Amino acid sequence: MLSLMTARDGNGLLSRRHFVAGGAGLLVATPAALAGLDLPPGMTRPGGGFGVYGQPSPHEKHTARAIAANRDLPGNGVSWTPLQDLEGIITPSGLHFERHHGGVPAIDPAQHRLGLHGRVGKPLTWTVAELLRYPRVTRQLFIECGGNSNSLWNAEPRQTSAGAMHGLASCSEWTGVPLRLLLEEAGAEKGATWLIAEGADAGGLHLSIPMKKAMDDCMLALWQNGERLRPEQGYPMRLVVPGWEGVTHVKWLHRLELASEPAMSRFETGRYTDLLPSGKARQFSFVIEPKSVITSPSPGQLLRDKGVYQISGLAWSGRGAVKKVEVSADGGKTWVQAALDGPVQRQCFTRFRIAWQWRGQAALLKSRVTDDTGASQPERSALVAERGRHGEFQFNGIVCWAVDEDGEVSHVYA
């Protein structure tokens, strides 16, 4: 039956057209015959009771964030979303990546205030309760740390899971107040071209954002995936800056200041600037460029049997919506367009899928996204040739997984 759908594309990739041609022959119905009353054990005794807040199955404990933190300051570090263990586009709130510079503050919402001052007609302050009475908007949006995938600037490919390499990117449904409403209420002055946003964490991370973006689509987020923000995501409120580098999405937001220039804070000068081979550095490189990664199969996973596998991955772009994702199984010699889960949304994770027939051969799996502005992912070699290897931030090169004859998946530069 499988011979009906012998791959006609590079190294076993099966485009949807082939399913239509050969699909009927694939349906092999093998209903399991029950021997007597061999019932699943759960059917013969009452199950557990209710819980006030549901938790994942104890069999899914491996679906967890990997953590790397400073030994002298445990709150300074990162935790990566386990992209390889997740499906769809929404990251469960408890698995959203974290990047904290001074730990997670414990904030009592009754004591928290948001202040707005600087180049405004009337400086204002709000309580959380007051902000909860403002109109709300909801959007599904990715957030990606500018330092995500930074090990791919290294000379040698790091061997770890897809999540521990590319999981400083997550996607949630964010709900909150359009920032514009608050800026308009305070009466932004004409010369106010920048917004300084500051968190109430240790170190008071502050960042400067052009006013145009702040007025366009920024959100004061209070909810994530239907519930109030988790402490590690900025409770009680954070800034959401659609499509822009994660560090701009200031958590534990407590102060906004309008100005005619950026603050030139540590996090927009000494850090989160991208050093080029010339010795100059790109600054305020806000927009996340188009990027994709295959999450299954991915390093650490094993193809146990020959046959058809469902390749699945994530694509996103801060510039707009994903237009197409192409997948290669031969290291980029030939490409086949993958299917996209809909609806495809702007500045949001998009799940792509393609079937692949593995006959036990060595393969090099790659994905390449193109967004609706026409921008696409460069090969890693091209990105490194342009940016050098000391940029640290904003890696969006094509990622390559090698599958060997034993079905083991590893990370390679190819």
Partner 1 sequence: MCMRRLALAGALALTTVAYAADLGRELPHTPLGKPLTAANVPTIWPDGRGLPAGQGGVVAGERLYAERCQSCHGERGTGGSGGHLAGRSALAGPNPDRTVANYWPYAATVFDYIRRAMPPAAPWSLTADETYALTAYVLHLGGVVPADAVLDARSLVAVRMPNRDGFVPSSEAREAGVR
Closer by beta carbon to partner 1, 257 or else 330:
257
Q: Scanning residues 369 to 408, which ones bind partner 1 (CB under 8 A)?
A: 390
Structure tokens at 126: 């709000």
Q: Contact region for partner 1 (CB under 8 A) — 58-66, 70-78, 151-159, 323-331?
A: 70-78
Cβ count near 121 (within 10 Å): 10
Short-list 235, 231, 160, CA closest to 399:
160
Amino acid in position 412 = V
Q: Is the peptide bond before 299 cis (omega within 30 degrees of 0)?
A: no
The tokens of 69 are what? Answer: 């933190």
- Report if residue 42 touches partner 1, rule: CB under 8 A: no
Q: Considering the rule CB under 8 A, would residue 150 count as an interface residue with partner 1? A: no
Query: Residue 81 Cβ, how far from partner 1 at the closest point, in Å?
Result: 24
Report the residue from 45, 59, 61, 71 that binds partner 1 according to the rule CB under 8 A.
71
Instruction: Examine residue 284 and tell whether it contacts partner 1 (CB under 8 A).
Output: yes
- Coil, helix or strand for 42? helix
Between residues 2 and 69, which has the closer beta carbon with respect to partner 1?
69
Looking at 5-13, 23-31, 150-158, 180-188, which segment touches partner 1 (CB under 8 A)?
180-188
Nearest distance from C-beta of residue 257 to partner 1, angstroms: 6
Burial of 189 from C-beta contacts in 10 A (0-12 / 13-18 / 19+): middle
Query: Per rule CB under 8 A, is residue 122 in the interface with partner 1?
Result: yes
One residue of 87, 130, 386, 406 binding partner 1 per CB under 8 A: 130
Q: Which residue, 331, 334, 350, is CA-closest to 342?
A: 350
Q: Which is nearer to partner 1, 266 or 364 (CB)?
A: 266
Cis peptide leading into 378, omega within 30 of 0?
Answer: no
Q: Which is nearer to partner 1, 123 or 307 (CB)?
A: 123
Minimum distance from residue 159 beta carbon to partner 1 (Å): 24
Contacts (CB under 8 A) with partner 1, residues 76-95: 76
Q: Which residues contact 371 (CB under 8 A, 6 or more apart)?
A: 290, 317, 319, 320, 321, 322, 323
Place of tokens 């608050």: 182
In contact, 363 and 403? CB cutoff 8 Å: yes
CA-nearest of 255, 284, 115, 258 to 191 is 258
Q: Count residues contacting partner 1 (CB under 8 A)?
A: 77
Contacts of 119 (CB under 8 A, 6+ apart): 188, 189, 191, 192, 258, 259, 260
Site string for partner 1, 289-328 (x = CB under 8 A): --------------------------------x-------
Q: For the CB of residue 206, give the shortest distance to partner 1 in the complex, in Å.
A: 7
Q: How far is the CB of 271 from partner 1 (least distance, A)?
A: 8
Q: One symbol per residue from 3 to 22: x for binding partner 1 (CB under 8 A), - otherwise; what is it?
A: --------------------
Q: Which of 56, 121, 123, 307 binds partner 1 (CB under 8 A)?
A: 123
Instruction: Looking at residues 187 to 206 of the shown chain, list those that interact with partner 1 (rule: CB under 8 A).
Output: 193-194, 196, 198, 202-204, 206
Q: Does 99 sit near partner 1 (CB under 8 A)?
A: no
With contacts defined by CB under 8 A, name the span among 78-86, 143-151, 276-284, 396-404 that binds partner 1: 276-284
Which listed residue (255, 291, 324, 387) binds partner 1 by CB under 8 A? Answer: 255
Q: Which residues on neighbouring strands pair with residue 135, listed in sequence order?
A: none
CA distances (Å), origin 312, targets 69, 96, 247, 280, 302: 30, 19, 28, 38, 15
Pairing mode, strands 194-199 and 238-240? unpaired
Q: Does 111 bind partner 1 (CB under 8 A)?
A: no
Please, what is the minimum distance in Å from the beta carbon of residue 235 to partner 1?
Answer: 19
Among 218, 196, 226, residue whose Cα is nearest residue 209 = 196
Q: Cβ(275)–Cβ(349) under 8 Å?
A: no
Q: Is the Cβ of residue 194 or residue 349 nearer to partner 1 in the bound state? A: 194
Q: How many residues does the chain have?
A: 414
